[in-house]
Amino acid sequence: MASAIQKIALNASRDIPFNKLVLSQSNVRRVKAGLSIEELARDIERRGLLQSLNVRPILDDAGVETGAYEVPAGGRRFRALELLVKQKKLAKTAPVPCVVREAGSAILAEDDSLAENVQRVALHPLDQFRAFRDMLEKGMSEEEIAAAFFVVPTVVKQRLRLMTVSDKLLNVYEQDGMKLDQLMAFSISDDHARQEQVWEIIAQSHNREPYLIRRMLTEKTVRASDRRVRFVGLEAYLAAGGHVMRDLFEADDGGWLQDPTLLDRLVMEKLQEAADQVRTEGWKWVETALSFPWGHTRDFVEVEGTHVALSDEETARLTALHSEQETIEAEYAQADEFPEEIDARLGEIERGIEALEERPVSFDPADMARAGVFVSLDTDGTLLVERGFVLPEDMPAAPDDAHDESDGNDDAIDHRGDGDDAEGDGREGAPDNEPDEEDGLKPLSDRLLTELTAWRTLALRDAFAANPHIALTELLHTLVRDLYWQVSGADCLEAYVREIPLQVHSPDMPGSLPVHALRQRNEGWKHDLPEDEDALWQWLDRLDDTSRIALLAHCLSFGINALHESSHGPSLARSIRERLARADRLATALRLDLTDAGWEPTVENYLGRITKARILEAVREARGDEAADRIAHLKKADMAQAAEQLLDGSSWLPEALRTKGLSAQMKTDEAPDYSADGPAAVAAE
């Protein structure tokens, strides 16, 4: 017969007057760390005593209970109560809830004291976050929560920031699948799907550092330190409805702007305002862009202006500033450093001198009547205005040719702005002349093909840089071909990347998603690189493998060339065909979709540049014969406008932008209504 399990008996508890309690010398806590007695006293004053004291009877020499009790476990609570008594906030005889250990127990007082502290389990950060969240939802403010737990409000804000993390990731953290600093890194974004996607990627890698998580979550955002933000101003972006991601756990230099499209629009609006102001000066033309290609003034003649002389008042001001600067520098010549206020004043003086010495330039009105200006954004976020550039055809004729020019050929001069620019003038965004024959499917012009493939090259670079595995495979493929098949001669190792300029491109490309993504990735790496070039090798050597491969893919992306080029000679034509075939293979491997990259057919970038037959072919492929038939009777300009509306949201791409192997080039199931009452019908009217 089984023996009965012996039942335990818990220690009795009762209220004991405070003046009957004394602190035991058996309490093991000696080091006063953590929450102060004063803070604990304020907490007891606010909410009362949450935990009883552990006490034992004090015996006299004869072993008889004296009516007093010692406190071996709960000494900090006892001292907090003692402080409240001294502050007259608690009566000396106030009853204190106590758990009483019987006299003569075999359990030592030190044993109880040690057990109370050692057996205690610290609260999990996730539990603290959930508790803060519950209190917030029940009406307490962040400041009230912080005051209740004697922490600064920032701590509460940081814990509550974890509310933005996906429940899936919170569960991973709860099961010890990730560290707290990794979880905090995910809180930088509110996009749960992206958070989970990033975790799935890095969970397969040995590198799960918080900085990598933050970088991946902010790939498609703009740093607040970006030149565009400095130009527009963060306040203007916020006032326009933009949102900023902030990192409460790390210094973030102002955060990340989440709406690059809105930012670019504000930049272009401000640049356009500046261009309008410059236009009032009397120039023949003014061109505006976020940035112009390298060497964009190469084909222009630059006219020289004259620096405006200093006025008497400005001269006196400059002399006074130089004199003050020399006096200050002489006074502090022996000092190791300038006092703060003196250093600030020297900065003001230097800026004043620079403003006076950088003189404005005036131009001859006759030169201005034939010249133009480029208005763009400089690298430091300031306005860049380049004045005085003349197209060669706008330069005055040489004296010997004056008679010939005036001999009935005045109409042969093509003035800028008087009609479409010629196809071969090299100007950014210049449209092709409309083909004479519009009824046939004539080949696309070389310039249009170059613009389309410039778009594709840029998007391919972005996709390439975002996929280090394929980037490394492509690099190894190139190196192995050179090594074993000796496709090109090499001295030692001539594996290099030459950035391919995209000098010909459509007007919509500078503000596109790939441009933004590549710029942000480049700025991110520039931010991480050491300032000292001598330290670069050591920095790269210490970099983890994942980051090294990502940096390699980024650098290689600048050498991607999928550009169509007009060729002269069979050898060059064969070389271009081989290069484009390799670009097609890359696009297929990367599953490059130009619609995801943001390309859409518009009048400006495609439809206004092709024949009517090609416009109808595009509409027929995207929307069917009925839609194409409804616009077939329109003139070309009207047809292009109607086609732009019809193709909106269709994901249709020209042949030059399509990627082999993608299952769906057109998302016709998401198409808007194109019945007789739709936009195509309106256009047809």
C-beta neighbour count of 621 within 10 angstroms: 18
Closest by CA to 345, choosing from 330, 314, 324, 331, is: 324
Q: Do the Cβ atoms of 72 and 56 come closer than 8 Å?
A: yes
Per-residue pLDDT at 445: 85
Q: With the C-alpha atoms ordered 221, 225, 227, 232, is the resulting torsion angle positive or negative? A: positive
The token duo for 457 is 């090259």
Per-residue model confidence as pLDDT tens digits over 532-542: 767 777 777 77
d(CA 218, CA 220): 6
C-beta neighbour count of 229 within 10 angstroms: 24
What's the predicted TM-score (pTM) here?
A: 0.38
Give the list of residues 6+ apart from residue 590 with CB closer than 8 angstroms, or none. 460, 463, 464, 467, 470
Q: What fold is seen in the domain 125-256?
A: Arc Repressor Mutant, subunit A (1.10.10)
Low-confidence ranges of the chain (pLDDT < 50): 31, 34, 401-432, 434-436, 483-485, 489-494, 664-685
d(CA 520, CA 381): 15
Helix, strand, coil percentages in the chain from 3-state DSSP, rounded to 5: 50, 10, 40
The angle formed by the CA atoms of residues 602, 605 and 608, to the nearest 5 degrees, is: 70
C-beta neighbour count of 316 within 10 angstroms: 11
C-beta neighbour count of 400 within 10 angstroms: 7
Upper half-sphere CA count for residue 644 (Cβ side, 13 Å): 16
The sheet with strand 256-257 has its strands ordered as: 222-223, 256-257, 244-245
Q: What fold is seen in the domain 12-119?
A: 3.90.1530
d(CA 158, CA 243): 19
Beta strands 301-302 and 383-390: pairing type? antiparallel
Per-residue pLDDT at 284: 93
Q: Do the Cβ atoms of 644 and 605 come closer than 8 Å?
A: no
Per-residue pLDDT at 306: 84
Closest by CA to 608, choosing from 637, 648, 571, 645, is: 637
Tell me which residue has tokens 């539990």: 127
C-beta neighbour count of 466 within 10 angstroms: 19
The angle formed by the CA atoms of residues 463, 469 and 470, to the nearest 5 degrees, is: 55
d(CA 552, CA 192): 29
Every domain of the chain and the residues it spans: 12-119, 125-256, 266-390, 446-487+495-599
Q: Do the Cβ atoms of 563 and 454 come closer than 8 Å?
A: yes
Per-residue model confidence as pLDDT tens digits over 476-534: 666 555 544 455 543 334 455 667 777 777 777 877 888 888 888 888 887 787 777 67
d(CA 501, CA 522): 16
Q: Do the Cβ atoms of 115 and 27 come closer than 8 Å?
A: no
The angle formed by the CA atoms of residues 489, 491 and 494, to the nearest 5 degrees, is: 80
Closest by CA to 209, choosing from 250, 253, 178, is: 178
Q: Give φ, ψ of 20 to 5 degrees.
A: -100, 5
The token duo for 538 is 């050591």
